[in-house]
Amino acid sequence: MYGTCILYSLVPFYLDITEVLVNLNNTFQSIIGFGGAFTDAAGINIQSLSASTQKNLLASYFSTEGIEYTLGRIPMASCDFSMHPYSYDDNSGDFNLTKFSLTQEDKKFKIPIIQAVMRTYKRNLTLFASPWSAPAWMKTNKNMTGKGTLVGEPGGPYFKTWAMYFVKFLKAYAKEGIPIWGVTGQNEPTDGFITNFSFQAMGWTPEMQRDFIVKDLGPALQQNSLGHVKIMILDDSRLQLPYWAEQVFRSEEARKYVSGVAVHWYQDFITPAVALSSTHKKFPEKFILATEACSGAMPWDIPKVSLGSWKRGEDYAHDIIQDLNNFVSGWTDWNIALNMEGGPNWVKNFVDSPVIVNAKSDEFYKQPMFYALGHFSKFILPMSKRVELVPNQNLPKDMYIVGFQRPDKAIACILLNRSNENITLALRDPSTGYINTDLTPHSIQTVLWWPS
């Protein structure tokens, strides 16, 4: 997968090829990390394997021999990739959350796997959490699914209780030795405005989210020694940018509490990546983080699990490069492991995953999506900075590139050729010379070197 030696030269091998200047004097956003989500479904699938196969699966993602993930997402209570809907406090009227408690799903499918990763592997794991729905009794429709919002208005008792729900969750995971770096305000907040929405959701407008953060969530975290936890807004498609950020950041108080903007990939084919750059330009002090992506999610994606699909691997690499070139600071896949059907999922909303588990054979399959992600997660370390890449002419059609300088001063450039043609590039580092590389059709390469 990795390890090809690329030779330096004082001149390009061919005088008419595209030459790309690597300009270390012009740098952009810093990287938070790359990773995936610790869902109930992922835990169920991982634990369906023998102990040795489980160890190999986790090592594939997190070890130095694997692709060294550094980022993880945790659903707060249930989501569609659970076996059933559940919350941490289903006791109606418990505004003080006296009966709040983690569930057997946390204790069996999430916490043990996260703990195993944290104690076993070298790189630090940055974790963030996202809620899908408040308990049913706190919502206007009295259901965790369907069309509904929190009862009342920001600053009211239901919103105060919901803010404390975050606090309780963060403290409960910290007690298990799992510190949470950040939270998103709500997974896909527009889902909760869809009549008969099939799985857990809760509706928020940007104005509601802004006022909840200002009046409830931000102060609750501060008052409970959790002011260091990063709050992210949106957690939905970039179709809603920069509008969502503009509405939230009208408030100086919201700007004080919010650290970043979370985005999903599902409608990226509709909205150009310039939506990300324009958001960064308006609010350069706020990071942008890609917090969910998966193949097989659209109704026309048949089959849901497509073993060995090179196109899905290419789609991942293309989306990540687009995001990174438009100020995104990291990229989070959805479930880190699913079964052969693309589940379990309690509403049969099956999708694909970079790792597919075949429990009957005690096997798991690492798909092209896994290896595509590895080019980024393994070689672009946290705190790496994107560097300017300047081609001497237009890049060949369907050629995509991005480059970073890492904390160890190494340069990592990821090159994706989606075309049916061979492409030759010369990367020019003024301190080192030319690095000439050939890209075969439909290939991805990482070029790593230390400047002189």
What residues act catalytically? 188, 292
Cis ω on the peptide bond leading into residue 85 (within 30° of 0)? no
**Cβ neighbours around 98 below 10 Å, total:** 8
User: Distance between CA 377 and CA 35 in Å, rounded?
Assistant: 7
Per residue in 175-209, is it b (16+ CB within 10 Å) or e — as a string?
Answer: eeebebbbbbbbbbbbbbeeeebebbbbbbebebb
Q: Which two tokens stand for residue 115?
A: 């703990």
238 in Cβ contact with 208 (< 8 Å): no
Q: Which residues pair with 233 in a beta bridge?
A: 261
Q: Which two tokens stand for residue 360?
A: 């009957």
The rounded Cα 283 to chain-centroid distance in angstroms is: 20
Name the burial class of residue 443, with classes exposed (0-12), middle (13-18) and buried (19+) by CB atoms within 10 angstroms of its CB: middle
